[in-house]
């Protein structure tokens, strides 16, 4: 599979060559062409060029030369070629560059020849361990868990596509003192988690599993709060759990298993693949906790303070001005969330050979990660070669702008939310179903893809750190920056291809392009660069924005260029079908990287 350099990088290369020919003393200065103008089809083309290079200004400053004179020298040094159609010096020394139509079509044709659409693999690929989709055992999942799963899954797909080795870790909350209470209750009420009597492999639905767990949680909590003796037994049960008592561990495992039934049902509804070996919860690091603390204490990174083992930071202080430490080991000897995360870092760096640790976690945990990462740096587990980054996301708000809750003030059940999205989407799909000729089965399937796509896209299309409003009406709207708009754009392409009959997509580089065709072609050419940018900045919303712009370019193209019109010469039809085809494949690939399906007919 050949990777195809973008037109921007081809131009960049031409300019760099010309620069070093014209001014050997300049070394390899970067003339940096930036896409300009063609991002917006409303602009008059005569006003703007395809690219503008401004690097000469800085260079002239460095060489103490006149920028315009320098620019002219560079332009003169560019040999005649069939990529750059026009290059002119403008303003104080910018270069405005226009690409030939031929180069646009030829580059796209090279992309189209390849399943990866010519997108290169990253030159500096390494191993990223990504921590995402980490719900908690015996607890209902909430919208925050949804965000981590959706954003994390998109990052996994994008990183893998660019050639990164990705190890997934679902750091589920499966350890802690609350299990003492739950397990003790189960010991005293042994049949509470039993599935249908006599059933060898009982089929429990995710919802049943969760309602079992909820019931048990409530009942044990009530007892814990009202019965001092039960409370004491529950406390002792925590000690049994921590010391690895077999019966206690077996019951703990039942809670984990029951919860996984529920987790998997939610992930399946989300159309997301979560694999069992990748679920390494907090308990998975228990064996490392002692050693982690010993290393931190012996190296002086952590110190004893009021009986606890703590790490201090100059810039982390409480409201009273006193330092707030990261507590690695509590004064009662117990380990908490931080010790587990520090042990997980050691494991991911030393055993999984990670170069990058990526955490898709709520922004409200940012201070925790800041302290954990700094501790790991002081301990030498993180360094120049191994970096950690929190892809922090904001809170999901209701339409009223307050944290998302039900009318009764309770946390919204994720499953209800997804079902509602699917219902709304199915209604939208049904409205057009007759015209498109969809079967009932297709309506149901598309309803799922559109509904789940809507939820994912809403999450992925705004910058992750920002809070966002969960507004189902907006999410399934056909107009605007929604997944269903993109899904319709794709389905329309497929429909045109079906209508084309025996006329096939075929590139004709010799044909002149209309402005809307150029704009579309130049945008398509950027796909690889956008992916590289998203893979390094961890900003999937930039891919969403790119795809939305692509669909907008397509709409303008349809308005201005008829594809299957009888007035078109056969090669014009073929070339336009070709443009439409590459657009469809780019949309399909881009949406898949975001975890969103693109039905063929909608
Ligand atoms: N289970 C945690 C929660 O629900 C998220 C875990 C994030 N990952 C981590 N390595 N701490 O908030």
Place of tokens 């970067």: 30
Residue 395 lies in a domain: no
Residues 149 and 70 in one domain: no
Q: Which CATH number goes with the domain that contains 155? A: 3.40.50.620
Q: Between 537 and 400, name the one with better pLDDT.
A: 537
pLDDT in tens, 455-504: 999 999 999 999 989 999 999 998 889 999 999 999 999 999 999 999 99
Residues 51 and 87 in one domain: yes
Work out how many domains the chain is built from and give that number. Answer: 4
Domain range for 587 is 434-593
pTM beyond 0.90: yes
Nearest CA to ligand 1 atom 8: 171
Tell me the pLDDT band of 173, cut-offs 50, 70 and 90: very high
Distance CA 34, CA 523 (A): 13
Residue 416 lies in a domain: no
Chain CA centroid to CA 543, Å: 9
CB–CB of 22/77 below 8 Å?
yes
Position 78 pLDDT exceeds 60: yes
Task: Indicate which atom in ligand 1 lies nearest the CA of residue 369.
Answer: 11
pLDDT in tens, 255-311: 999 999 999 999 999 999 999 999 999 999 999 999 999 999 999 999 999 999 999
Question: What's the confidence (pLDDT) of residue 32?
Answer: 64
Task: Indicate which atom in ligand 1 lies nearest the CA of residue 134.
Answer: 1
H/E stretch holding 508 reads none
Residues 188 and 160 in one domain: no
Residue 74 corresponds to which tokens in the numbers above? 């560079």
Most informative mutation of 361, 371, 375 for ligand 1 (most atoms within 8 A of CB): 361
Sequential DSSP letters for 377-402: HHTTSS-SSSEEEEEEE--EE-TTSS
Q: How far apart are the CA of 275 and the centre of ligand 1, in A?
A: 18
Q: How far apart are the CA of 134 and the centre of ligand 1, in A?
A: 6
CB–CB of 582/528 below 8 Å?
no
Residues 157 and 186 in one domain: no
Q: How far apart are the CA of 390 and the centre of ligand 1, in A?
A: 12
- Mean pLDDT on 3-20: 85
Q: Which of 390, 417, 443 is the endpoint of a domain?
A: 390
Task: Indicate which atom in ligand 1 lies nearest the CA of residue 337.
Answer: 11
Nearest CA to ligand 1 atom 5: 134
Residues 138 and 87 in one domain: no
Residues 307 and 158 in one domain: yes
DSSP three-state, residue 99: strand
| Complex-level ipTM | 0.99
Q: How far apart are the CA of 596 and the centre of ligand 1, in A?
A: 25
Residues 220 and 362 in one domain: no
Q: Which CATH number goes with the domain that contains 567? A: 1.10.730.10
Nearest CA to ligand 1 atom 4: 135
Place of tokens 């008059």: 44
Q: Which CATH number goes with the domain that contains 40? A: 3.30.1360.70
Nearest CA to ligand 1 atom 9: 171
Residue 513 lies in a domain: yes
Question: What's the confidence (pLDDT) of residue 458?
Answer: 96
Tell me the pLDDT band of 47, cut-offs 50, 70 and 90: low
Residue 413 lies in a domain: no
Tell me the pLDDT band of 43, cut-offs 50, 70 and 90: very low
Most informative mutation of 148, 365, 376 for ligand 1 (most atoms within 8 A of CB): 365
Residue 157 lies in a domain: yes
Residues 478 and 546 in one domain: yes
Q: Which of 232, 258, 274 is the endpoint of a domain?
A: 274
Question: What's the confidence (pLDDT) of residue 48?
Answer: 66
Q: How far apart are the CA of 391 and the centre of ligand 1, in A?
A: 12
Residue 405 lies in a domain: no
Region of 129 (left: φ > 0; alpha: ψ -120 to 50; beta: rest) is: beta
What burial letters (b/e) apply to 16-52, b meaning 16+ CB within 10 Å? bebbbebbeebeebebbbebbbbeebeeeeeebbbbb
Q: How far apart are the CA of 139 and the centre of ligand 1, in A?
A: 13
Residues 165 and 188 in one domain: no
Residue 142 lies in a domain: yes
Residues 145 and 203 in one domain: no
- Binding-site residues, ligand 1, Cβ < 6 A: 131, 134, 136, 171, 173, 341, 344, 359, 361
Residue 415 lies in a domain: no
pLDDT in tens, 361-414: 999 999 999 999 999 999 999 999 999 999 999 999 988 888 888 777 777 888
Q: Which of 390, 408, 442 is the endpoint of a domain?
A: 390
Q: How far apart are the CA of 323 and the centre of ligand 1, in A?
A: 24
Residues 373 and 308 in one domain: yes
Residues 565 and 487 in one domain: yes
Q: How far apart are the CA of 358 and the centre of ligand 1, in A?
A: 12
């Amino acid at each position: 599979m050949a990777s195809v350099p973008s037109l921007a990088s081809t131009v960049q290369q031409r300019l760099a060559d010309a620069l070093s020919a014209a001014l050997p003393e300049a070394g390899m200065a970067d003339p940096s062409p930036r896409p300009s103008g063609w991002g917006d089809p409303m602009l008059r083309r005569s006003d703007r060029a395809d690219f503008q290079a401004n690097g000469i200004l800085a260079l002239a400053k460095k060489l103490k030369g006149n920028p315009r004179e320098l620019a002219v020298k560079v332009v003169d040094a560019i040999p005649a070629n069939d990529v750059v159609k026009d290059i002119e010096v403008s303003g104080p020394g910018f270069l405005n560059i226009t690409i030939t139509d031929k180069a646009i079509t030829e580059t796209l044709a090279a992309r189209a020849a390849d399943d990866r659409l010519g997108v290169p693999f990253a030159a500096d690929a390494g191993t990223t361990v990504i921590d995402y989709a980490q719900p908690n055992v015996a607890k209902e999942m909430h919208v925050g868990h949804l965000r981590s799963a959706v954003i994390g899954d998109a990052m996994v797909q994008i990183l893998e596509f660019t050639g990164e080795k990705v190890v997934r870790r679902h750091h589920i909350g499966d350890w802690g003192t609350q299990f003492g209470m739950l397990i003790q209750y189960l010991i005293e009420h042994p049949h509470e988690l039993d599935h249908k009597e006599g059933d060898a492999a009982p089929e429990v639905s995710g919802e049943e599993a969760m309602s079992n767990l909820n019931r048990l949680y409530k009942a044990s909590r009530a007892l814990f709060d009202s019965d001092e003796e039960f409370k004491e037994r529950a406390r002792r049960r925590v000690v049994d759990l921590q010391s690895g008592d077999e019966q206690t561990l077996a019951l703990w495992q039942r809670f984990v298993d029951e919860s996984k039934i529920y987790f998997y049902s939610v992930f399946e509804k989300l159309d997301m693949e979560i694999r069992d070996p990748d679920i390494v919860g907090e308990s998975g690091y228990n064996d490392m906790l002692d050693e982690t603390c010993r290393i931190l204490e012996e190296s002086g990174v952590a110190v004893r303070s009021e009986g606890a083992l703590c790490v201090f930071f100059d810039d982390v202080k409480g409201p009273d001005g006193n330092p707030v430490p990261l507590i690695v080991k509590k004064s009662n000897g117990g380990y908490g969330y931080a010790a587990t995360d520090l042990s997980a870092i050691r494991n991911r760096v030393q055993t999984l050979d990670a170069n990058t640790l990526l955490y898709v976690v709520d922004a409200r945990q940012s201070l925790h990660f800041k302290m954990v990462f700094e501790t790991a740096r002081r301990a030498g587990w993180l360094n120049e070669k191994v970096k950690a980054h929190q892809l922090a996301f904001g809170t999901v708000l209701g339409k009223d702008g307050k944290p998302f809750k039900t009318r009764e003030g309770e946390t919204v059940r994720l499953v209800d939310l997804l079902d509602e999205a699917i219902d709304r989407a199915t209604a939208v799909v049904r409205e057009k179903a007759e015209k498109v000729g969809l079967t009932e089965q297709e309506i149901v399937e598309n309803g799922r893809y559109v509904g789940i796509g809507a939820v994912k896209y809403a999450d992925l299309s705004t910058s992750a750190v920002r809070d966002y409003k969960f507004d189902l009406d907006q999410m399934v709207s056909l107009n605007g920056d929604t997944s269903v708009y993109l899904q319709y754009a794709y389905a329309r392409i497929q429909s045109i291809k079906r209508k084309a009959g025996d006329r096939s997509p075929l590139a004709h580089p010799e044909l002149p392009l209309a402005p809307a065709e150029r704009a579309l072609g130049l945008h398509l050419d950027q796909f690889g660069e956008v992916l590289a940018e998203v893979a390094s900045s961890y900003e999937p919303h930039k891919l969403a924005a790119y795809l939305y712009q692509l669909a907008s370019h397509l709409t303008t193209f349809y308005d201005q260029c008829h594809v299957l019109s009888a007035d078109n010469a056969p090669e014009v039809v073929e070339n336009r079908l070709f443009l439409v085809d590459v657009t469809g494949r780019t949309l399909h690939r881009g949406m898949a990287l975001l975890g969103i399906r693109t039905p063929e007919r909608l």
